[in-house]
Amino acid sequence: QKEVEQNSGPLSVPEGAIASLNCTYSDQGSQSFFWYRQYSGKSPELIMFIYSNGDKEDGRFTAQLNKASQYVSLLIRDSQPSDSATYLCAVTSGTYKYIFGTGTRLKVLA
């Protein structure tokens, strides 16, 4: 089992819809959770981080963390074609390692 798992996609959503991206992790002791966006040919950039169970909202983005079920998700409301990118989940594990998932490619269709 991979330490941090994401569906590679592509996930296609129409413009204006909600995009839901999911990430599961294997280490119950994981402490910090991050979402990055990476446009093709560019470097990753941080979108959000979350440490506590529940939801955290920032503009059109909402991160959701459920430690009991060991998943973290990212919701993008009112998706725009400019949101088309690969979204990377990263986790600080209980063994104090920073681990990236393989990423989910999102395509927002105009």
Q: Give the footprint of another protein on this chain (CB under 8 A).
A: 31-32, 34, 42-46, 49, 88, 90, 92-93, 96-98, 100-103
Task: Give the dihedral of Cα atoms 33, 34, 35, 38; nearest 10 deg.
Answer: -140
The burial class, CB within 10 Å (0-12 / 13-18 / 19+), for 74 is: buried
Neighbours of 70 (CB within 10 A): 15
What's the token pair of residue 75?
Answer: 């919701």
The count of C-alpha atoms lying within 13 angstroms of the C-alpha of 18, restricted to the half-sphere facing its C-beta, is 9
Residue 18 or residue 46: which is nearer to another protein going by CB?
46
Residue 49 or residue 61: which is nearer to another protein going by CB?
49
Residue 15 or residue 53: which is nearer to another protein going by CB?
53
Neighbours of 90 (CB within 10 A): 20
Q: How far is the CB of 62 from another protein (least distance, A)?
A: 18
Q: How far is the CB of 85 from another protein (least distance, A)?
A: 14
Q: How far is the CB of 16 from another protein (least distance, A)?
A: 29
Q: How far is the CB of 88 from another protein (least distance, A)?
A: 7
Residue 64 or residue 104: which is nearer to another protein going by CB?
104
